[in-house]
Chains A and B, each alone.
Chain A
Amino acid sequence: MSQTQADFAAEQSPEAQAPTSEALPQATAARRPWREHPLLSPALFLVLLLLWEALVRIFEVPKIVFPPPSAVIVALYDGIVSGLFLPHFLVTFYEIIAGFFLGAIAGISLGILIGLSPLMERLIYPYIIALQAMPKIAIAPIMVIWFGYGLTSKIIITATIAFFPLLANTIVGLRSAPKDQIDMLKACTATDWQIFRMVRLPQALPFIFVGPTSPSSSR
């Protein structure tokens, strides 16, 4: 009600309104549509949780088949308090970090090799793309057979997932250096290494870290 009044007032002719500097932000705040409210998405989450809880209770679904959110929260709390989750969390965390770094080192160094050498690109890039097309989940069992049930198999699988986006971004990034910048360095007798260090690598860094181009989304 007050919102519509504000809207109505704001539509009056500006001379008649003569808004003061304090009145102006209030008017814009009142006019902000509900669909731009910052708590909109969290509110949806809450509504869905309540719906889930209600449906499970109304239809008396057994906990073992589909536990309600309340049971999940209790179980999560128990697991944390009893100290059951922490060591497992640390193991998984370690697997992710180690796997990512392994994949990153392999991806970036191979990316540099391919990005700088057209020969290497022709030689090995087709096979890397072919391997990338294979779903990682499909080869997970083989990884377990090769590397066992321990940390190694999980680290290797994580590494293969992290590998390709970083490889592709490194290649694209190294190729993104404008020809003029390279010519400028060449003209003052820069070596290939100097061109790499002063132009190609700095140009590639945003691609490697953020991956703004399409290859990164091909995961």
Chain B
Amino acid sequence: MPAEALSASREAQAASPLVRVSGLEKVYSTRDSGNVHALNDINLDVAPGEFVTIVGPSGCGKSTLLKVLAGLLDKTAGHVDLAGHPVDGPTRDLGLVFQAPVLLPWRTVIDNVMVPAIVQKLDHKASRKRAEDLLRMVGLAAFAHRYPGELSGGMQQRVGICRALVHNPAFLLMDEPFGALDAMTREAMNIELLRIWKDQQATIMLVTHSIPEAVFLAERVVVMTPRPGRIAEIIDVDLPRPRHVEMFNTPEFGTYVRAIRRHFDSQMELD
């Protein structure tokens, strides 16, 4: 993989990136173990409409990076721009999906999906229509008036994704959204997410600890290594689209997976 050459060409093409991260540092100060350097010199541009996955072992700061991008965490140093504006708090044009569905149990499915629209005081009728459309898209139209407790984990996670999309954000951040799902459901959700990405023309940044998932979904995979969390490599994935489950078994797919895994093998040897 001539990764350097590819990322160089990518830089040229990303004239006006949606996300521009440069020299980002994040240091947590804890009482007992001193300062923890969670992110170290993160540089990353994401073009509009791009699907970028971030992969790495636990503790490599990938969730921290997402939280900083979402405006939920303050950065220690560096620059984070979203659509040309520095991030200094949550922005309206952003959808966030968590590892757990994080639904409000006292609200029905459709009322959960409506939460961002209500918070942002968007037109109620239009938003409700969109919420219904999104639920139909993920096959949950029949469950709109049920409560989250009546749904399975995979269904709840789909509701969480609909909620992240209801206010039509240009930018979708997903923090290990399928980590808690079984392998079968996870594959189906990956296919569904690619369809949503195509339909909604959103820019997606997805964090995962699954290397195959990272390769399968992404146009670019950001490989992060821990202590301190930094970007080890950014790999362009040149697999054809639309992607199919059968691709998991192709030699090309295996090449990408191995190229990424190498980073973590060497990491382990260092330990």
Do the beta carbons of B104 and A186 come within 8 Å of each other? no
A180 to B71 CA separation, bound complex (whole angstroms): 14
Contact with B along A185-196 (1 / 0, CB 8 A): 111111000100
Inter-chain contacts of A186 with B (CB < 8 A): 72, 90
Inter-chain contacts of B106 with A (CB < 8 A): 202
Inter-chain contacts of A202 with B (CB < 8 A): 104, 106
Contact with B along A169-190 (1 / 0, CB 8 A): 0000000001011011111111
Do the beta carbons of A188 and B116 come within 8 Å of each other? yes
Which range contains the number of B residues in contact with the other chain? 20 to 34
Closest B residue to A205 by CB, please name it: B106
Shortest A43–chain B CB gap in Å is 41
Report if A198 contacts B (CB, 8 A).
Answer: yes
Shortest B174–chain A CB gap in Å is 12
Which range contains the number of A residues in contact with the other chain? 10 to 19
Inter-chain contacts of B118 with A (CB < 8 A): 198
Do the beta carbons of B104 and A188 come within 8 Å of each other? no
Inter-chain contacts of A187 with B (CB < 8 A): 70-72, 90, 94, 96
Known: A183-B72, A194-B119, A198-B115. A188 touches B90 (CB 8 A): yes
Report if B92 contacts A (CB, 8 A).
Answer: yes
Report if B167 contacts A (CB, 8 A).
Answer: yes
Do the beta carbons of A188 and B115 come within 8 Å of each other? yes
Report if A10 contacts B (CB, 8 A).
Answer: no
Inter-chain contacts of B96 with A (CB < 8 A): 183-184, 187-188
What 5 A-B pairs come out closest when comparing CB atoms? A188-B116, A187-B96, A190-B119, A180-B102, A189-B90
Q: Which residues of B contact A (CB under 8 A)?
A: 67, 70-72, 89-92, 94-96, 98, 100, 102, 104, 106, 115-116, 118-120, 167
Task: List 18 other contacts, CB 8 Å, given A187-B70, A199-B104.
Answer: A180-B100, A183-B72, A183-B98, A184-B98, A184-B102, A184-B115, A187-B71, A187-B90, A187-B94, A188-B115, A188-B116, A188-B120, A189-B119, A194-B119, A198-B104, A198-B115, A198-B118, A202-B104
